[in-house]
Amino acid sequence: MATPIGNLEDLSPRAVRTLADADLVVCEDTRHTRRLLSAAGVVSPPMLAAHEHAEAAQVATVMERLAAGARVALVSDAGLPGVSDPGERLVRAAADAGFEVVVVPGPSAALAGLVVSGLPAGRFVFEGFLPRSGSGRTQRLAALATEQRTAVLFEAPHRLVRTLGDLAEALEADRPVALCRELTKLHEETWRGTLAQAVARASAVEPRGEYVVVIGGAEPPAVATDADLAGALSRARASGRSTRDAVAEVASAYGVSKRRVYGLAIEG
């Protein structure tokens, strides 16, 4: 079930009732969740910590409680469990075991950021936190470079400058972006501009609070004309490539079929 991402008034009446009726609350941080329950006027039921490093180990315990007929509520510290938060393993295990899994929807930083960004929201991808280094990060950045849907990322303040710099380098620097910080909280702020401008701003103004970064999609690739293909084919042949190799190279570069390029090669 969803819990507030900042503003406690976003905890729904249904969520309060679900917590009050639970025999066990599985959460990331028992101290955090206990404060939430207290603010909602709910007498704290038994709790089980299933944070990032403990979730897998707690699956068997939760399954035992469900098998005994217990009503188990699963929450993360903020937003919906399983969305860049622990919870996915427990939901999958419960569903695989045949237990009924019901979602109590509510606050979501990803969706809140997407909506307030003003960028196209009809089709989007959620990237969560990018890998911090290595080939995984490189591959994700490369995928975003050609992603035509709006992309939603999470980032911590101390890593924001580096991530925006990497995005500006891998994507077009003039790609539109919205930086949404501290959503629903006292110092909520949404800044909109280009990736290049975002790098300059984050470098000049110390990032504070958790960020949702929303990036506009890439432009669709231009449709290659026969003249484009013929010119590329001619240049490939002039460089010494065989017709076969030139056809394969041009077809791959322009994303068209080899048959189409080969037809132009015969005509030429």
Residue 189, strand partner residues: 181
Whether 209 and 117 map to the same domain: the answer is yes
Tell me how crowded residue 242 is: count the other CB atoms within 10 A of its CB: 10
Question: What does the pLDDT read at residue 27?
Answer: 95
Question: How many angstroms separate the Cα of 12 from the Cα of each of 17, 25, 106, 162?
Answer: 9, 17, 7, 37
In the predicted structure, residue 141 carries a pLDDT above the cut 70: yes
Tokens of 96: 């695989």
Q: Looking at the chain, how many residues does it have? A: 268
- Give me the percent of the chain exceeding a pLDDT of 70: 100
Structural domain contains residue 31: yes
Return d(Cα 157, Cα 117) in angstroms, integer. Answer: 18
Whether 47 and 144 map to the same domain: the answer is no
CATH number at residue 66: 3.40.1010.10
Structural domain contains residue 3: no
Structural domain contains residue 2: no
Structural domain contains residue 259: yes
Whether 151 and 211 map to the same domain: the answer is yes
Tokens of 39: 């603010």
Residue 212, strand partner residues: 154, 180
Structural domain contains residue 1: no
Of 214, 141, 138, 137, residue with least CA distance to 175? 214
Question: What does the pLDDT read at residue 220?
Answer: 83
Structural domain contains residue 220: no
Which amino acid type is present at position 256?
A: V
Whether 21 and 61 map to the same domain: the answer is yes
Tokens of 237: 């042949």
Structural domain contains residue 103: no
pLDDT digits 0-9 by tens, 23-73 = 999 999 999 999 999 999 999 899 999 988 888 889 999 999 999 999 999
Structural domain contains residue 202: yes
Number of structural domains in the chain? 3
Whether 186 and 205 map to the same domain: the answer is yes
Domain end point (choices 96, 119, 151): 96
Question: What does the pLDDT read at residue 268?
Answer: 65
Domain of residue 83, residue span: 8-96
> For 164-193, what is the mean pLDDT?
96
Whether 35 and 124 map to the same domain: the answer is no
Backbone angles phi, psi at 150, to 5 degrees: -60, 135
pLDDT digits 0-9 by tens, 86-139 = 999 999 999 999 999 999 999 999 999 999 999 999 999 999 999 999 999 999
pLDDT digits 0-9 by tens, 3-28 = 999 999 999 999 999 999 999 999 99
Q: Which runs of consecutive H residues, i.e. helices, occur in 76-225?
A: 88-96, 109-117, 134-146, 160-170, 195-204
Cα angle, residue 28 at apex, residues 22 and 31 outer, rounded to 5°: 80
CATH number at residue 132: 3.30.950.10
Whether 173 and 237 map to the same domain: the answer is no
